[in-house]
Structure 1
């Protein structure tokens, strides 16, 4: 079964790909086309035996089929793990990804508005970079410095002016506001990171660097 770290690296690879044509992975069930790379991986669902004893659902051949697939898929996953480990090394060496705890941060180098940045990250299987502690903030800052561009964070202002939360609605447990920020008073709903790692509330229609987390 694909581990969480392997899944994250696969998503990072998709984000950094410059080719936008569907990938052809006919040799790996569940990974053909772009759909198999969004959200939770489809591959693990093919491994193992179906629920219930053989023949209970009138399809006794299913158990044997799943067991035969398991051996082939194991070999595929071993090779995939090796290639992803090499990919991780290359990306880390070139400064394309940064790790902090269990998170991996990566950028495609594109500057777009907030909604477009969020959509790009979600299509790759992640979300906008959202620092929840100093270590994660520093990892994101390393990418911001690399491109020397401000970047949107996965934080937005709620219905109450001055009250910011994570994209999924949870309250912030860590902040790094620049001095006298936030000061938009309801007119600046999004949050950007400066090149010194501090935060500023900003309008969501401006172009900022896309940084995703996985």
Structure 2
């Protein structure tokens, strides 16, 4: 049985990458606790139903069985959706629109946007803007930059100290790959882009760059 986390992760990727998800968010589907009938339950009460007695009890039981049957059917449908979505994600992987590094998945739609729009698009897909923390993750993002021949924004911004950069959550950078003599914006270029050789440059946030998200 596929995990709910995998199901939501795949839906996030589908929202970012597939046309059929381009105009809305994936519906979150939560697991339904299993129902186990207990012996000796009073005929005068069933959870979720008004008090009943006599022949009304049979009707209540039938309604309860019908509800459980529908819930089980919904879960089977969810499992089928996961199977279909997994197959589509495999196709996207083969097309070069999904890469992996460690426990992270990086994905792109091939579209471009400014920094703030990129952050929003990745969040709506259930992930965040790509933020490399080591050379392998940097290489995973570089794969897209080379494939589409477009620079990409990274999830890194200038801190309150000009010339000093950090992750969007305020975390310090333990890995960097700046181009020679960069960063050089001195407070005027707050965002960071990746060049087609994998090196970084500080840049104004209003330029359109390749959207790359991580999950």
**What is the RMSD computed on CA atoms of the aligned residues?**
2.6
**Superposed displacement of residue 108, structure 1:** 1.7
Structure 1 pair 134–5 and aligned structure 2 pair: CA distance change class (3 A): farther
2-structure distance, mates of 1:175, 1:69: 52
Matched-pair contact (CA < 8 Å) for 2:11–2:26:
no
1-structure distance, mates of 2:17, 2:169: 25
Answer with 1 or 2: which has the greater Rg: 2
Aligned length: 192
**Superposed displacement of residue 171, structure 1:** 1.4
1:134 aligned onto 2:135: yes
2-structure distance, mates of 1:193, 1:84: 30
**Superposed displacement of residue 59, structure 1:** 7.3
Matched-pair contact (CA < 8 Å) for 1:156–1:165:
yes
Matched-pair contact (CA < 8 Å) for 1:117–1:210:
yes
1-structure distance, mates of 2:157, 2:183: 11
Structure 1 pair 59–185 and aligned structure 2 pair: CA distance change class (3 A): farther
Aligned pairs (5 A) from 1:66-81:
68=69, 71-81=72-82
- Which sections of structure 2, spanning at least 5 residues, go unmatched? 50-63
- TM-score normalised over the length of structure 1: 0.79
Matched-pair contact (CA < 8 Å) for 1:8–1:104:
no
Aligned pairs (5 A) from 1:1-214:
2-19=3-20, 20-22=22-24, 34=25, 36=27, 42-44=28-30, 46-48=31-33, 60-61=47-48, 68=69, 71-214=72-215
Structure 1 pair 199–21 and aligned structure 2 pair: CA distance change class (3 A): closer
Give per-residue Cα distances to partners, 1:144-178, cap 9 Å, x unaligned.
10000100001101111122111121111221111
